[in-house]
Structure 1
Amino acid sequence: MRINRKISLTAATGALALLTACGGGNGDSMAGHEGMSSSSAPAATTATTASTSPSATFNDGDVMFAQMMIPHHEQAVEMADLAATRASDPEIKELAVKIKAAQDPEIQTMKDWLTDWSIHPDSGGMGHSMPGVMSEEDMKKLEAAKGKAFDKLFVQQMIAHHNGAIEMAKTEQANGSNPKAKELAKTIETTQQAEVEQLQKILDRL
């Protein structure tokens, strides 16, 4: 599945309320939520399930995080799959396998959360611009490249892609309420920051 820079993602009613509360021109980007204080976000109870279990508690930020990070991860997996047949650098191939192995399970975990929270991923319908997402043109260029040309382009695009995911993960840690979602966001930030550093070293020697 190829993902454009402008991706039509779903947002629950609560997530729409979150965007409205933020106001201004940054409402269509998750990056615009980073400066939002927890007091300005809608009360978590408005999006909390009937269960009293702490793991079942979630707010609009958690929903937005899952709905946006799922397709973000899916594109990273698509890029990693391309490396298996197009990359010439052994370290890039190895890292691509690692990226897919980490992000595939995370995608399923976030889909399970939305199901548990009774949030249908195809409900609503709202366009969001996500940091680091490759455009249709970017992905076509990557698909067409092979060997060393692919290696350099892959590394450059994955650095940008990872930095976008890190930005989104930081937003979730600041604005989310679900412990498991915030824990995953921290894992994403830590893991992908380390991979960005590795990718930069690869780029420097290419």
Structure 2
Amino acid sequence: MRGIPVRKAGCLLLAALLLLSACTSGSPAEPVASTTTVPSTATAAPVGTASAGGPAGLFSATDIAWLQLTVAMNERLLPVLDLVPSRTTDPAWLRFAARLGTAHRADLSTARRLLAESGAPTTNPHEGHDMPGMVTDEELAALRSATGVAFQRRAGQHVRAHLDQAVRIATAEQRAGVHPMTTALASAVVRTGNADLAGLDRLDRP
């Protein structure tokens, strides 16, 4: 099966770019040809070859690895944002978390659709990994026991770590990815991530 080597090669590429060590190594794989539509479910796509410029419709191993990591990171952040309304009454925090949650759910939906189009495995290769920018189960439990300023401080630290890492890996995808819709999503993540970091800075000011 071609899907497993693509996943492993993509993790290796991102590990080299981002110094992430949680993925396993593997041999490089050819870019994966996509279909012309983005269905909610898809069968495995045929394997194609790409020119150096990366023609439209082809996913590289790096594209797939970035999409998988983006899905995993967003799935870990959303439970933090969902806690905000029940843990603080600060209007600025409530607005920030609501806006961030809406944007990350949209990015998660887009990343999942692109993964479906690529024919990559639907399983999460980062399940159980505690990587930079990912909130652990223990950290989420600690957030559930905090309220007010203490919650805001802890939540802010996790949101900042997520945004920092998201911008970092999206920048790498911009440089190394080949699939146009995937690199376009990465560009949007960089742009909005930097804006959200600035917004978080304003929240942190006394």
Matched with 1:65 is 66
Preserved contact between residue 70 and residue 110 of structure 1 (Cα < 8 Å):
yes
CA contact (8 A) 2:173 2:183 kept: yes
Which runs of structure 2 are paired with 1:45-64 in the superposition (5 Å)? 46-49=30-33, 54-64=55-65
Indicate the residue corresponding to 2:116 in structure 1.
Answer: 115
Q: Given the superposition, is the C-alpha separation of residues 160 and 184 from structure 1 closer, same or farther in structure 2, using an over 3 Å criterion?
A: same
Cα distance in structure 2, aligned partners of 1:195 and 1:50: 32
CA apart distance, 1:131: 2.1
C-alpha deviation, 1:128, in angstroms: 5.0
CA contact (8 A) 1:159 1:200 kept: no
- Residue 19 of structure 2 corresponds to 32
Alignment of 1:179 with 2:184, yes or no, is no
Which residue number in structure 2 is paired with residue 15 of structure 1? 7
> 2:167, 2:194 within 8 Å by CA — same for their partners in 1?
yes
**Residues of 2 paired with 1:77 and 1:100: CA distance?**
6
| Separation in structure 2 between the aligned mates of residue 108 and residue 123 of structure 1, nearest angstrom | 15
CA distance in 2, matches of 1:143, 1:183: 35
Q: What is the alpha-carbon distance in structure 1 between the residues aligned to residue 166 and residue 32 of structure 2?
A: 25
Answer yes or no: is the 8 Å Cα contact 1:142–1:153 preserved in 2: yes
Q: When the two structures are superposed, what TM-score results if normalisation uses the length of structure 1? A: 0.77
1:51, CA displacement in angstroms? 5.4
User: Equivalent residue for 1:7?
Assistant: none
In structure 1, distance between residues paired with 2:127 and 2:156? 30
After TM superposition, which residue ranges in structure 1, 4 or more long, deviate above 6 angstroms? 123-127
- Deviation per CA, 1:129-154, whole angstroms, max 9, x where unpaired? 53211222211111111112111211
Is the alpha carbon distance of 1:204 and 1:181 closer, same or farther for their aligned partners in structure 2, counting shifts above 3 Å? same
CA RMSD in angstroms comes to 2.8
Measure the CA separation in 2 of the matches of 1:194 and 1:125: 27
Contact 1:30 1:131 (8 Å CA) reproduced? no
* C-alpha distance in 2 between matches for 1:135 and 1:125: 12
Partner of 1:83: 84
Higher relative contact order (CA 8 A, sep 6+): 1
Would you say the 8 A contact 1:66–1:110 is kept in 2? yes
TM-score (structure 2 length as normaliser): 0.77
Q: 1:155 aligns to what?
A: 156
Q: 1:101 to 1:18 in 2, by over 3 A?
A: closer
Distance 1:179 1:128, change over 3 A: farther
Cα distance in 2, alignment partners of residues 55 and 92 from structure 1: 40
In percent, how many aligned pairs have the same letter? 24
1:30-86, CA deviations, whole angstroms, 9 ceiling, x for partnerless residues? 6227xxxxxxx947xx12217589542110011001111002112221111000211
SS in 1 for 2:119: coil
Q: Which runs of 5 or more residues in structure 2 are unaligned? A: 21-26, 38-54
